[in-house]
Amino acid sequence: MKTPEFQGTKLIDRLYWAKKNLTAHQSDYRVVFQDDIEDHASILIPDPNWMACALQGKILPPVWVFWELAKDEAKPDFKKHTRGYLIHDTKPIDSMTEEQAIEYLIMKDIPQYIWRDYQKANRPRLVICKTNQLPKTRQWRNSWIINESVNAIKEVA
C-alpha cells in the first residue's frame, strides 16, 4: 500500500491512518536496559502498530525531532511545547528495516546516557535480544538484571 503524502499532517492523524490501513507487525526483538546498577532491568517492547509505521515509511518524524522536544522539556521554565510543529511539519522518514526501527526506538525512548556510549561503559547497560532469550515467565520480573559476563538477562531471586 502506498503511504499518502503526510508532511504537514498531524502525527496523531498519521498514526490513525496507519492503524486503519496497515497490518500490525509484532517484532521478536526486545531491548533490555538497566539505568542504575541497583535497579532492575527494564524491557522495551515495540508496539506492533508503531512497528508497522516504521516498516511502511513516510509516517514517523526523524528521531531528532523528539530530542529537540526533550531539550525543551528539560528547561527549568518549561510549561508547554511551543515547537510541536516539528513533529507535524518535518519531512517523515523513509521505511526502515526491523533492525533500524529498533535502533530508532532506542534513540527515541531510552535516555541518551544509557545508549550513547553503552559499549564503552564498565558494565552492560543495554542488550538487544530476541523474546526467547528472556526468562520464560514474568515471575520475579522486578529482580531481572543484565548478566555482566555474557550480556544476557538472568533472574536474581
pLDDT at 144: 77
- Tell me which residue has cell 516539528: 86
39 to 95, 118, 136, 142: CA distances (angstroms) = 35, 17, 21, 9
- The per-residue pLDDT for range 93-151, each reduced to its tens digit, is 999 999 999 999 999 999 998 888 766 777 788 889 999 988 887 676 676 777 776 54
Q: Is 10 helix (H, G, I), strand (E, B) or coil?
A: coil
| DSSP helix, strand, coil percent of the chain (3-state; round to 5) | 40, 15, 50
pLDDT at 124: 81
Cβ contacts of residue 107 below 8 Å, gap of 6+?
63, 67, 115
Give, for 128, the enclosing helix (H) or strand (E): strand 126-130
